[in-house]
């Protein structure tokens, strides 16, 4: 394939030829300026055409030269990340090194801190963290700015103006219930206190580090007399749930739900809906969007300031924020951040739109509200609830 340099070399040859002809005098000299102008226009056109044909050619080449992208905390059944990762690998021929798929947002931040001077495979290039972690990571100098080519179609209130972080998708907290183990499906948060759920309810992370778990506590507050400015009732609710023996101190995942070890998992609706698909009826399972305390959580993407593979990281962002990447997320029941733009242009398959549940009434906390709730929950979980939530052995 021809390059811009090729076009510039052709232009240079025409200029040299024109100069020689001009020195020879005669009729040739009068034609030289016209030839030079034509050559200039042709070279500029060719360069512009090639740049337009593949505006990311240089970035792709640089990323492929690096040869690897290190991700962290991306389970394949979370927002359809499995397909996203495989598509990226196939599309660009870049190896994806998947670090600790079950990590929480706090773990991702700690991984950057712990590997600032590490250019090896344990240093993450990119992170996908809860909304509240974006600004704090920027303040700590842990992430670097990069604006994707679809930047303008990302809502202003879901991105950092300088490009340090940007929303990727959102979901609403729900209950995933193994109905083979527990046929009485809870309709709301208060139902989880019923004795019939003894030893059956679990969070999807440790509320001292996990964004999903922290926001689950926040959501419970909304359903129990709290507000977006008062998350304390959420801690009180989980203290009661723990005292009743209903809270299982395990980090729930789909495997634990399938075996019935955690019959009720509090998780984002996209995780729950994907789980039901993966179970294929064994076990039978249902997803409930609680009647009250409907809480929407936005996650954000960012590139580590210490990324060993910065170009691969930028290319990953371009892929995720393309229509293709956003559609892959939607296939995993997530609401991609560019959904409004894609709806306007009519590029979302109708079957995908039909699969998304009714989440009307869900609330979106501000960054300040999220930060305040996070600080309260992390600091007071041990003293108020006292449950040491850990990964299953």
Read off the pLDDT of residues 4-29 as tens digits, 9 standing for 90 and up.
Answer: 333 333 333 333 333 333 333 444 44
CATH architecture group of domain 170-296+366-384: 3-Layer(aba) Sandwich (3.40)
pLDDT for 203 equals 98
Residues 6+ apart with CB under 8 A from 170: 296, 297, 298, 299, 334, 335, 337, 364
pLDDT digit string (tens) for 83-92? 999 999 999 9
Instruction: Write down the pTM of the prediction.
Output: 0.75
pLDDT for 23 equals 39
**Structure-token pair, residue 133:** 């972690």
21 or 109, which is more confident:
109
Q: Per-residue confidence at 35, pLDDT binned at 50, 70, 90? A: very low
Question: Rounded mean pLDDT of 114-123?
Answer: 92
Question: Rounded mean pLDDT of 230-238?
Answer: 98
- Candidates 35, 8, 7; CA nearest to 22 is 35
pLDDT digit string (tens) for 342-381? 999 999 999 998 888 888 899 999 989 999 999 999 999 9
Distance of CA 37 to the CA centre of its chain: 49
Can you give the length of the chain in residues? 393
pLDDT for 216 equals 98
pLDDT for 30 equals 40
Q: Per-residue confidence at 37, pLDDT binned at 50, 70, 90? A: low
pLDDT for 13 equals 32
Q: What angle do CA 391, 278, 207 make, to 5 degrees?
A: 25
Contact call for residues 150 and 338 (beta carbons, < 8 A): yes
pLDDT for 357 equals 83
Question: Rounded mean pLDDT of 257-283?
Answer: 96
Give the C-alpha separation, 249 to 392, whole Å. Answer: 9
pLDDT for 46 equals 54
Contact call for residues 292 and 192 (beta carbons, < 8 A): no
Q: Per-residue confidence at 38, pLDDT binned at 50, 70, 90? A: low
Instruction: Answer yes or no: CATH 3.40.190.10 is held by domain 57-168+297-355.
Output: yes
DSSP string over 17-61:
HHHHHHHH-SHHHHHHHHHHHHHHHHHHHHHHHHHHH-TTHHHHH
pLDDT for 33 equals 44
Question: Omega before 283 cis (within 30°)?
Answer: yes
Sign of the C-alpha dihedral computed for residues 341, 346, 349 and 354 taken in this order:
positive
pLDDT digit string (tens) for 190-222? 999 999 999 999 999 999 999 999 999 999 999
Lowest mean pLDDT: which of 52-61, 125-134, 145-154, 307-316? Answer: 52-61
- Domain borders along the chain are 4-53, 57-168+297-355, 170-296+366-384
* DSSP tag of 78: S
Q: State the average pLDDT for the chain.
A: 89
155 or 22, which is more confident:
155
DSSP string over 255-310:
HHHHHTTTSEEEEEHHHHHHHHHHHTTSS-EEEE--SS--BEEEEEEEEETT-SSH
Lowest mean pLDDT: which of 40-44, 246-250, 291-295, 315-319? Answer: 40-44
Assess whether the region 57-168+297-355 and the region 170-296+366-384 belong to the same CATH fold. yes
pLDDT for 42 equals 57
Distance of CA 304 to the CA centre of its chain: 14
Give the C-alpha separation, 115 to 117, whole Å. Answer: 5
């Amino acid at each position: 394939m021809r390059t811009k340099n090729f076009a510039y070399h052709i232009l240079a040859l025409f200029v040299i030829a024109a100069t020689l002809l001009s020195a020879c005098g005669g009729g040739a000299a009068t034609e030289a300026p016209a030839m030079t102008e034509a050559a200039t226009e042709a070279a500029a056109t060719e360069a512009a055409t090639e740049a337009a044909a593949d505006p990311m050619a240089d970035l792709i080449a640089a990323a492929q030269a690096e040869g690897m992208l290190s991700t962290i905390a991306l389970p394949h059944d979370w927002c359809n990340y499995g397909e996203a990762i495989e598509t990226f690998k196939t599309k660009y021929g870049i190896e994806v090194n998947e670090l600790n798929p079950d990590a929480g947002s706090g773990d991702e931040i700690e991984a950057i801190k712990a590997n600032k001077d590490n250019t090896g495979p344990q240093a993450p290039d990119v992170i996908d963290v809860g909304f509240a972690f974006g600004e704090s990571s920027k303040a700590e100098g842990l992430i670097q700015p990069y604006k994707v080519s679809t930047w303008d179609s990302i809502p202003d209130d879901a991105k950092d103006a300088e490009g340090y972080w940007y929303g990727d998708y959102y979901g609403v907290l729900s209950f995933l219930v193994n109905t083979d183990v527990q046929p009485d499906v809870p309709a709301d948060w208060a139902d989880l206190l019923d004795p019939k759920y003894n030893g059956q309810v679990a969070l999807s992370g440790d509320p001292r580090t996990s964004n999903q778990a922290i926001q689950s506590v926040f959501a419970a507050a909304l359903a129990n007399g709290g507000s977006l400015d008062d998350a304390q009732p959420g801690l009180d609710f989980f203290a009661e749930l723990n005292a009743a023996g209903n809270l299982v101190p395990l980090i729930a995942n789909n495997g634990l739900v399938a075996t019935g070890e955690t019959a009720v998992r509090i998780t984002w609706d996209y995780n729950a809906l994907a789980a039901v698909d993966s179970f294929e009826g064994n076990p039978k399972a249902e997803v409930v969007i609680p009647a009250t305390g409907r809480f929407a959580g936005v996650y954000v993407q960012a590139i580590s300031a210490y990324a060993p593979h910065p170009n691969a990281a930028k290319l990953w962002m371009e892929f995720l924020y393309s229509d293709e990447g956003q559609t892959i997320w939607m296939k995993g029941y997530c609401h991609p951040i560019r959904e409004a733009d894609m709806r306007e242009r009519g590029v979302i398959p109708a079957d995908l739109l039909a699969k998304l549940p009714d989440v009307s009434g869900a609330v979106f906390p501000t960054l300040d509200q999220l930060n305040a709730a996070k600080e309260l929950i992390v600091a007071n979980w041990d003293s108020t609830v006292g449950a040491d939530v850990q990964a299953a052995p």
